[in-house]
C-alpha cells in the first residue's frame, strides 16, 4: 500500500497506465466524470476492453469538467472526444448509476486473468484533477494497493458496491445520450442566448432604473430620452451606473445602433444635475455634435436646450487659438464634470 501525491510523476494517471499493455479490464466508481479525463484513459489503455462503471447521474455541463478544464474546452475537441467515449461505452462497458454522490472514487485494474492487479481509492474522480493532469487540492488522500492480495480487498468492495446498486437497463443509454449531446450542433441563436444568460444572470436587479436614475432631474421628460428605444435606455442606465460607480464607461455598440443619442441622453442627465460637459470628437465629426447644441432647424432636440462644449481631439495639444467659439487660451479644463469622447 502506498500514497499517491497526484503531482509530478506520481499521479493517478501514471499508476493506471503503468503496465497498460497487460490491462484488459478497469472497473471505475467515480463521483464525477469528465469526457476529457475519460479520453486520456482511452488513449493510454489501448487494451482496455471491458469494465464495470459506477457513474453519477449524467448532465452535459458536468461532463465538460469544471473551471480547471477550461483550457481543454477551449481547444474545441470536446465533440470528437465525446463521440469516442460514447462509442467505447456502447461497445465495452457495463454501467450503473449511483443514486447519491460517492464519497470517494475507486479504480480496480484487472489483468488478463481477471484478477485485481492494482486498486486506487480516494479523492480521485475521473476528471483531469482526479487523474493529476491539472493541479488539485493537496489535502486529497489517495491510496494505491498493488498486487492481487491488497488489490483484491478493494476489488471485493467494488463488487459489493456494484451488486448493491439497482439494475437499470436505461442507465447506459442515459449516460451515452448525455455524452452524445455534447456532439450536437447548436443553432447560432441558442449560443447567443446562452452567452447573454451568462453575461447577465448575476445582475440581480443591479440595473434598477429607479435606483440609478435620479427622478428629480426630469430626464425622463426630455425629448432625447423619449426618442430612445428600450435597448438604448438600458444602455444609458448601465452607462450612468458605471459612471457613478467607476468614474468611466465605454459604449461600444455596433454602427447604427444610436451611440450618439445614447451619449446625448447621458449628457442631458448630467446637465440637469448642473454638471458641466465637454465633448471631444474628431474634427470631421464636429458638426454631428454642435448641431444638437445649436439653434438650428435641423436640431430635433432643440427643446432640450443642450449646453455642452465641443472641442476637437487635436485641441488637447493646443494652448492658444480658437476652436469654434472657444478661445483655447482661457479654457478651464478642470471645470468639466463629464467628458464625452467620440
**Which residues constitute the domain of residue 293?**
211-341
Residues 155 and 244 grouped into a single domain: no
**Nearest-CA neighbor of 341 among 213, 219, 250?**
250
Residues 181 and 228 grouped into a single domain: no
For the segment 120-145, the average pLDDT, to the nearest whole number, is 93
Residues 115 and 41 grouped into a single domain: yes
Number of domains in the chain: 2
Q: Per residue in 58-73, pLDDT tens?
A: 777 789 988 999 999 9
Cα gap 98→187, rounded to integer Å: 33
Residues 226 and 267 grouped into a single domain: yes
pLDDT at 206 over 70: no
Q: Per residue in 212-266, pLDDT tens?
A: 888 888 999 999 999 999 999 989 998 999 999 999 999 988 888 889 999 999 9
pLDDT, residue 207, reads 63
Residues 39 and 179 grouped into a single domain: yes
Residues 143 and 48 grouped into a single domain: yes
Cα gap 193→202, rounded to integer Å: 15
Which of 185, 219, 239 is the C-terminal boundary of a domain? 185
Q: Per residue in 285-312, pLDDT tens?
A: 999 999 999 999 999 999 999 999 999 9
Cα gap 325→341, rounded to integer Å: 19
Give percent above pLDDT 70 in the chain: 98
Q: Per residue in 79-130, pLDDT tens?
A: 999 999 999 999 999 999 998 889 999 999 988 778 888 999 999 999 999 9
- Count CB atoms within 10 A of the CB of residue 79: 14
Geometric angle at alpha carbon 83, from 79 and 89, rounded to 5°:
140
Residues 332 and 280 grouped into a single domain: yes
Residue 141 belongs to some domain of the structure = yes
Q: The domain that contains 26 carries what CATH number?
A: 3.30.870
pLDDT grade, residue 20 (50/70/90)?
confident
Instruction: State pTM to two decimals.
Output: 0.62
pLDDT, residue 79, reads 92
Answer for the pair 198, 87: CB distance below 8 angstroms, yes or no. Answer: no
Answer for the pair 194, 143: CB distance below 8 angstroms, yes or no. Answer: no
The pair phi, psi for residue 252, each rounded to 5°, is -125, 40
Q: Per residue in 333-342, pLDDT tens?
A: 999 999 999 9
Bridge partners, 310 (sequence order): 279
Residue 205 belongs to some domain of the structure = no
Amino acid at each position: 500500500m502506498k500514497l499517491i501525491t497526484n503531482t509530478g510523476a506520481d499521479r493517478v494517471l501514471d499508476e493506471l497506465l503503468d503496465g497498460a499493455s497487460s490491462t484488459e479490464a478497469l472497473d471505475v466508481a467515480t463521483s464525477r466524470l469528465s469526457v476529457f479525463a475519460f479520453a486520456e484513459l482511452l488513449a493510454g489503455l489501448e487494451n482496455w476492453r471491458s469494465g464495470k462503471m459506477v457513474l453519477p447521474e449524467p448532465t452535459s455541463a458536468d461532463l465538460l469538467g469544471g473551471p480547471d478544464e477550461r483550457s481543454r474546452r477551449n481547444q474545441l475537441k470536446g465533440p470528437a472526444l465525446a463521440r469516442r467515449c460514447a462509442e467505447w461505452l456502447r461497445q465495452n462497458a457495463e454501467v450503473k448509476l449511483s443514486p447519491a454522490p460517492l464519497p470517494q472514487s475507486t479504480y480496480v485494474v484487472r489483468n488478463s486473468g481477471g484478477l485485481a492487479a492494482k486498486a486506487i481509492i480516494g479523492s480521485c474522480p475521473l476528471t483531469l484533477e482526479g487523474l493529476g493532469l491539472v493541479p488539485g487540492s493537496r489535502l486529497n488522500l489517495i491510496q494505491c494497493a498493488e498486487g492481487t492480495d491488497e488489490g483484491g480487498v478493494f476489488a471485493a468492495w467494488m463488487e459489493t458496491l456494484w451488486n448493491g446498486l439497482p439494475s437499470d437497463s436505461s442507465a447506459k443509454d442515459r449516460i451515452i445520450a448525455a455524452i452524445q449531446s455534447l456532439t450536437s450542433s447548436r443553432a447560432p441563436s441558442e449560443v447567443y442566448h446562452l452567452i447573454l444568460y451568462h453575461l447577465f444572470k448575476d445582475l440581480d436587479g443591479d440595473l434598477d432604473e429607479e435606483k440609478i436614475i435620479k427622478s428629480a432631474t426630469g430626464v425622463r421628460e426630455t425629448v432625447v430620452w423619449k426618442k430612445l428605444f428600450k435597448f438604448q435606455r438600458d444602455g444609458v442606465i448601465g452607462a450612468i451606473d458605471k459612471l457613478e460607480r467607476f468614474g468611466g464607461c465605454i459604449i461600444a455598440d455596433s454602427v447604427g445602433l444610436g451611440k450618439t443619442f445614447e451619449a446625448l441622453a447621458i449628457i442631458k442627465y448630467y446637465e440637469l444635475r448642473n454638471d458641466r460637459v465637454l465633448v471631444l470628437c474628431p474634427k470631421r465629426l464636429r458638426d454631428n455634435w454642435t448641431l444638437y447644441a445649436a439653434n438650428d432647424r435641423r436640431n430635433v432636440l432643440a427643446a432640450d436646450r443642450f449646453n455642452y462644449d465641443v472641442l476637437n481631439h487635436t485641441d488637447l495639444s493646443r494652448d492658444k487659438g480658437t476652436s469654434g467659439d472657444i478661445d483655447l487660451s482661457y479654457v478651464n479644463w478642470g471645470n468639466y464634470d463629464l467628458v464625452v469622447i467620440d
